[in-house]
Structure 1
């Protein structure tokens, strides 16, 4: 099956090369780019968020491996510190014995007694030489161990710093993912609200019902006012109007008469 697929692909490439010539590679590259963009455009934000979470989860094996290295180095440092402490204590004891033998040899005695056993001066000198050689070898070994301990501590500090950085960056990524998730939920909620559609026909129908009801109420109010006028009710709601006063004012205004002229004309009319 795989051979057939490979053979078909090769045949298609050969055919494209024969038909398109030197432009075949350009066409293929453009087509692949268009397909890739089309696929990316179909990827939803929810899917992309899940993919980011998976990528963050893939970081954990590497972080755990680094944590194991740091833990092993920490144990090695503690073990070496204990060994150095033991060697230091042992060298201190050897130093005291060497100084004691040296103090004894500073005398002019030819023999020395230690724990009820007598030793000649030569035996004590030989023992002192052996002890001193062993002490110097122990000092050199202790110095090497301290150098190794310093190097291990430096490496441990570097790895611990790297581990802290990895954990901190992973935590930052988790915070960013939480922020993206909250933002996505807010957008989804807004989209859900915007997706709600109200039928304009129903809205228009309700608006028409309200308009009809207002019209009916206006008619009933008008009927009540008409019935009140027919029954001879006094229209206390309206201001009383003096029609004669209005006529006099209109005449005065029309002829340009003042109040004194009105009085004089009235007196003249009386004498006539």
Structure 2
């Protein structure tokens, strides 16, 4: 089996040192395995994605010495496939519409307070809109859609992890899905899809065999493994790497312009300097 991995940035801001580390690590691992490295532009957030940011992403990656082995896949071109998967899950009674705002959820949970369970997407949804019976009729287009974990997680679900912190098979039970993850959103009114759904569908479409990404997405992989099983998709091997942090130990974000690659480039840094800064 050919080793196939990818880097999937969102063009909503500048790439920083954390992005550089993730992209370089995935590129290095693909080349070491004699495999393929792919690029995906995750541009479904139309309100925040900008052509100038996408151009900067491509320029920064090229400057780093990264080369992709096929034309970049644009996630927005995959929306029909995302919609078809939602139709399938809806027809099987696994989705339901949700009108709750973030404030509604906080009020239902009594937040802020100690003991509120936190899942990959924040506080575990309390099930306010979950119906007793599966909804009927056409799939709604104007509301969030949540995955009914009580119907979807019917047995243990596993994925293979090779990252330094969790190098082992990882299993999630139906009880864990209900208590630790909850009914996650799979379609957003403004996007038409969600990160969780689009990432598993697009990885499968690109033939990705190994997903290399930050440790902050480790818990979300439990959701992705379940969706792969529900949708009959191949399950890649996962490698969640360490995060690049600032001097205070905080994980870098796109708003951290002080760590933007463009800034280092303007100051005369070389790709070898970036590798040294990130521990590569």
Q: TM-score, normalised by structure 2?
A: 0.16
Q: Please identify which structure carries the higher helix content.
A: 1
User: Which protein has the bigger strand share?
Assistant: 2
TM-score scaled by length of structure 1: 0.16
